[in-house]
Amino acid sequence: MGYSRFYLVLLLSICVGNSLASPIEDQERDRITQLPGQPKNVGFAQYSGYVTVNEESGRSLFYWLTEAPVSRGPESRPLVLWLNGGPGCSSIAYGASEEMGPFHIRPDGKSLYLNPYAWNNLANILFLESPAGVGFSYSNKTTELYTFGDKRTAEDAYTFLVNWFERFPQYKHREFYIAGESYAGHYVPQLAQIVYRKNKGIENPVINFKGVMVGNAVTDDYHDYVGTFEYWWTHGLVSDSTYRMLRIACDFGSSQHPSVQCMQALKVAVVEQGNIDPYSIYTQPCKSTASLRRGLRGRYPWKSRAYDPCTERYSDLYFNRPEVQKALHANVTGISYPWKTCSDIVGNYWTDSPLSMLPIYRELINASLQIWLYSGDTDAVVPVTATRYSIDALKLPTIINWYPWYDNGKVGGWSQVYKGLTFVTVRGAGHEVPLHRPRQAFILFRSFLENKSMPSTS
């Protein structure tokens, strides 16, 4: 009997030991030792790899974690999940590689350089390629790529988080935020709603969820239409007659698909706008962008798939290199298609997309979560006017009225603080605020994490 007890204790200790060791082993498998072309002695840890979100179909999502530098104490910094939109566009291509990630890609598509305004100087940043079929994320059941929509994307992202925290238990109970831009204006609040609801009733939830931040966000179809057409007209991009035609022909979000008359009016608007970059109306478009000006199927027909600075091309070159994929522990199953910044299949066959996120925002505001929305004010795709109309529809009391915020004595943008929501504009920034105004975006992110209003003195 003594031996039985001894062996029972031994077996239990082995099992417990294995359960404790397993996440560490998984972490070490995901650790990035050195990316091709990476600068030396970067001073922070990186991890990347796959987390399975559905065993039956083999759906696995690819992530890239860039921790805060050791000198800044990553163990005391919050965790921020970053999501790009599309739908169908890669957070690795955009967020990580040309916006707030620690490395940007040189034009040769082979070497990297440090981003001085990388957000991992302030927090541990977790980039996620979502849903499956985007970037390196995949499903063994390829027919699934034609059936994604908002609901499953949010559910899979939540499953990813739960499983990821099991692999990285040191992040359990860490302050956690969700951030993103563009169509992540759907992803972020929908995922936030799931996290909030799952946390309700749990005394010590694993996910210590604090709030959300979204830039140039697709929020509410009615206000997105009204605000976008108004922006075009007030910025001299379309004629008076076309503006009137758009106001009459487009039904402002009452249906999933615009009418024939609306599509005709939009075609006229595109011709009148000419060869500009709608994502940043005052900067030169990258050459041969015309081929990339594809309308997104569905009810956002004026939106092409993603911002197209030339930096997008550098991502294509870099992430398709076999040695880069090996260093990232990516493409381990040998997917049958090249890595792309955006998936046409996922984007074009998107299934469900609610007309408005405003009901979710009301729920999150009532939950006293921290909510910040921001807008680059030179974006004609999801413009500042659209976001302002959406916020106005929430009918929130104003705490601090509209005011300029400053960076080194210069106006960086404007802000208004409402009860339950902070809105910030970034002056001169396009759709991808950290790409066009990296320093101002860094100040914005710091203020968000500190939950302090933007600096109001010059």
3-state secondary structure the chain: CHHHHHHHHHHHHHHHHHHHHHHHHHHHHHECCCCCCCCCCCCCCEEEEEEEEECCCCEEEEEEEECCCHHHCHHHCCEEEEECCCCCECCHHHHHHHHCCCEEECCCCCCEEECCCCHHHCCEEEEEECCCCCCCCECCCHHHHHCCCHHHHHHHHHHHHHHHHHHCHHHCCCEEEEEEECCHHHHHHHHHHHHHHHHCCCCCCCCEEEEEEEECCCCEHHHHHHHHHHHHHHCCCCCHHHHHHHHHHCCCCCCCCCCHHHHHHHHHHHHHHCCCCCCCCCCCCCCCCHHHCCCCCCCCCCCCCCCCCCHHHHHHHHHCCHHHHHHCCCCCCCCCCCCCCECHHHHHCCCCCCCECHHHHHHHHHCCCEEEEEEECCCCCCCHHHHHHHHHHCCCCEEEEEEEEEECCEEEEEEEEECCEEEEEECCCCCCHHHHCHHHHHHHHHHHHHCCCCCCCC
Catalogue the active-site residues.
Answer: 182, 379, 431
Comparing C-alpha atoms, which of 452, 454, 360 is closest to residue 407? 454
Tokens found for residue 176: 């956690």
Please answer whether residues 407 and 117 qualify as being in contact, where contact means their C-beta atoms are separated by less than 8 angstroms.
no
Q: Residue 286 half-sphere exposure, CB side, CA atoms within 13 Å?
A: 15
- Which residues does 212 contact at the CB level (< 8 Å), separation at least 6? 177, 178, 179, 188, 189, 192, 364, 369, 370, 371, 372
Please answer whether residues 109 and 66 qualify as being in contact, where contact means their C-beta atoms are separated by less than 8 angstroms.
no
Tokens found for residue 352: 């469900």
